[in-house]
Amino acid sequence: MTTNLSEQEQLRRQKLIDLQNAGVQAYPAEEFSVNVTAHDIKENYERDKLNYKDISIAGRLMSIRDMGKACFAVIQDSTGRIQLYIRKDDICPNPEDTKLYDLVWKKLMDIGDIIGVKGYVFTTKMGEISIHVTSFTLLSKALKPLPIVKTDADGNSFDEVTDPEFRYRQRYVDLIINPKVKKTFEQRTKIITSIRNFLNDSGALEVDTPVLQAIPGGAAARPFITHHNALDIPLYLRIANELYLKRLIVGGFDWVYEFSRNFRNEGMDRTHNPEFTVLEFYVAYKDYFWMMNTTEKLLEKIANDLHGTTDVVVGDKTISFAAPFKRITIYDAIKEYTGIDVSTMNEAELRDVCKKLHLEIDESMGKAKLIDTIFGEKCEGNFIQPTFITDYPVEMSPLTKKHRSKEGLVERFELMINGKEIANAYSELNDPIDQRERFEDQIKLMERGDDEAMFIDYDFLRALEYGMPPTAGIGFGIDRLCMLLTNQPSIQDVLLFPQMRPEKKAEEVNAD
RNA sequence: GAUUCCGUAGCUCAGCAGGUAGAGCAUUACACUUUUAAUGUAAGGGUCCUGGGUUCGAAUCCCAGCGGGAUCACCA
């Protein structure tokens, strides 16, 4: 086993033994009470010096600069970093007994160890607010060396760990050594809190609905399948929670929402992870126009809560989340970017258009899919500023109410930002007869080989037959929204633990 | 799933007309009681992703596998 360890790892295990021999516990059980944070000190010390004469703080050792009979070190707590100044004379007042400084501190402490210190705050000659340490306590010994990232006065990083595999597999290390990464995840939580506050303040009720479903409904996607032993039935991990939230609208709640972890057994790339988060909410007695207005208000608030402004930098662009957003029908969008009016075309005419535009199509594609292809290839990427695309063909929206005045269309919108779909919403279909026919159309698609067509959920139909009020519903891709608002190009950078292939055999991991 | 690039010390990387490995930081030792990418001197550390092949000889060339990134396809 020892043969697997690097030189530095072996050394640290030896230090563990040396600590024990010196009577120092490497993993003490006692509480170490803390009365200040690094951020607090840096923020408030200058104007309230008296308050920082007797402080106690804990954190991870990030660097040590040994000056002989004194050392400078830096610890990092959950709020940031602060410098320590440790003098031999202070730690070991008795010159006869210098073990604590010369042995425990200078020989047995390492970068990565977690320590607690007591002392007082002062400012060094170089002007850095620091802690003059009067005593220290080892709280946890680190056995693996921490990658060292140094930063100079101008903020330039050296030896920054950028290897994506390292960062995603050992996110705990990434979080320790890359403060920007930690900030991104704090921002993610802020975004979700902002949304939750908006909804709760509006009188919405947060609910939990099943993740394990006998019929994976509410979306067109390939599900993960599992098996329940006691019931001896197959169960699916949910691909959406839509049908359950609408059951709750039937049940008499007027506004329900859920942050739903959804699972789809499909490809992975920069914008797809097998499990991802969608916020869905449903509001009784509203329609999709109301939902557009509400979406504008919500996004404007999120941007303000997070950045203090509605202008957000994403890559080399600036996106304005200030309401109102542009609204355009999908037919007008196609006309704008191709010059072709497809609104009255039949399937054969649409096929000719696709050929003229050099789009790849196949025989199985129906009218709606052809329109979707034209939009996806020729229009979608152009909508950088938030834009509502409205009034989709009925064939691709089996859960959406037919348009109040436009034949063949439904009352649906998608919100496009930075060329990507961020939200999908509609006036919900609440006519149980119509809904049953739409499901049956899906079954026909399934029989023609569409492996993503929806199953019929008979219990959902039964619920609709009891009567569902007219309802507006929406789903937001939370991960993608976070990518936008935190300016991260990959979904892996807004997921703490993105899905990865197993890195090696379990026994080898255990041997570490 | 397809194409393409990558995998060398704890970390970041160099080494590739094929001659069994180097740098900086980190580590170890010594010096230094307000330094800050601290500094100075010295030292240790590597199944060069794995397995085959070509060759007198492979980190370097070829093939396969594993892992990762990017692009494409499917999708949110």
Kindly tell me if the per-residue pLDDT of A366 is higher than 80.
no
Residues near A226 by Cβ (< 8 Å), separated by ≥ 6? A212, A234, A235, A236, A237
Q: Which residue has the higher pLDDT, A507 or A458?
A: A458
**Under a CB-based contact definition with an 8 Å cutoff, are residues A77 and A38 in contact?**
yes
Nearest residue, CA→C1' of B13: A159
Q: Which residue has the higher pLDDT, A24 or A348?
A: A24
Q: Distance in angstroms, CA of A65 to C1' of B59?
A: 36
Kindly tell me if the per-residue pLDDT of A273 is higher than 50.
yes
Q: Distance in angstroms, CA of A265 to C1' of B1?
A: 13
Q: What is the CA radius of gyration of chain A?
A: 29
- Whole-model pTM: value is 0.93
Mean pLDDT of A265-287: 95
- Res A504: pLDDT: 65
Mean pLDDT of A446-461: 82
Query: Which nucleotide is closest, CA of A480 to its C1'?
Result: B76
Q: Distance in angstroms, CA of A114 to C1' of B16?
A: 43
Query: Which nucleotide is closest, CA of A160 to its C1'?
Result: B12
Nearest residue, CA→C1' of B11: A147
Q: Distance in angstroms, CA of A501 to C1' of B53?
A: 29
Mean pLDDT of A424-448: 90
- Res A155: pLDDT: 84
Distance CA A210, CA A132 (A): 54
Which positions on chain B have an atom < 7 Å from some protein CB?
Answer: 1, 9-13, 24-29, 31-39, 44-46, 66-76
Query: Which nucleotide is closest, CA of A111 to its C1'?
Result: B26
Residue A213: half-sphere exposure toward Cβ, Cα within 13 Å: 23
Q: Distance in angstroms, CA of A456 to C1' of B46?
A: 60
Q: Distance in angstroms, CA of A6 to C1' of B46?
A: 10
Torsion A279-A490-A220-A470 (CA) sign: positive
Distance CA A379, CA A402 (A): 24
pLDDT tens digits, one per residue of A314-356: 988 999 999 999 999 999 999 999 999 998 898 889 988 888 8
Query: Which nucleotide is closest, CA of A502 to its C1'?
Result: B67
Q: Distance in angstroms, CA of A464 to C1' of B52?
A: 64
**Residue A364, H or E segment:** none
Mean pLDDT of A199-227: 94
Kindly tell me if the per-residue pLDDT of A221 is higher than 90.
no
Nearest residue, CA→C1' of B44: A7
Query: Which nucleotide is closest, CA of A489 to its C1'?
Result: B70
Q: Which long-range contacts (CB under 8 A, 24 or more apart) does A363-370 make?
A: A364/A448, A364/A449, A364/A450, A366/A395, A367/A393, A367/A395, A368/A392, A368/A393, A368/A394, A368/A395, A368/A396, A369/A395, A369/A396
Q: Distance in angstroms, CA of A160 to C1' of B67?
A: 21
**Under a CB-based contact definition with an 8 Å cutoff, are residues A227 and A261 in contact?**
no
Before A28, cis peptide (omega within 30)? no
**Under a CB-based contact definition with an 8 Å cutoff, are residues A506 and A496 in contact?**
no
Query: Which nucleotide is closest, CA of A159 to its C1'?
Result: B12
pLDDT tens digits, one per residue of A31-51: 999 999 999 999 999 999 999
Kindly tell me if the per-residue pLDDT of A449 is higher than 80.
no
Cα A30 to its chain centre, rounded Å, is 35
Query: Which nucleotide is closest, CA of A124 to its C1'?
Result: B34
Kindly tell me if the per-residue pLDDT of A367 is higher than 90.
no
> Which percentage of chain A shows pLDDT scores above 90?
80
**Which value does ipTM take for this structure?**
0.92
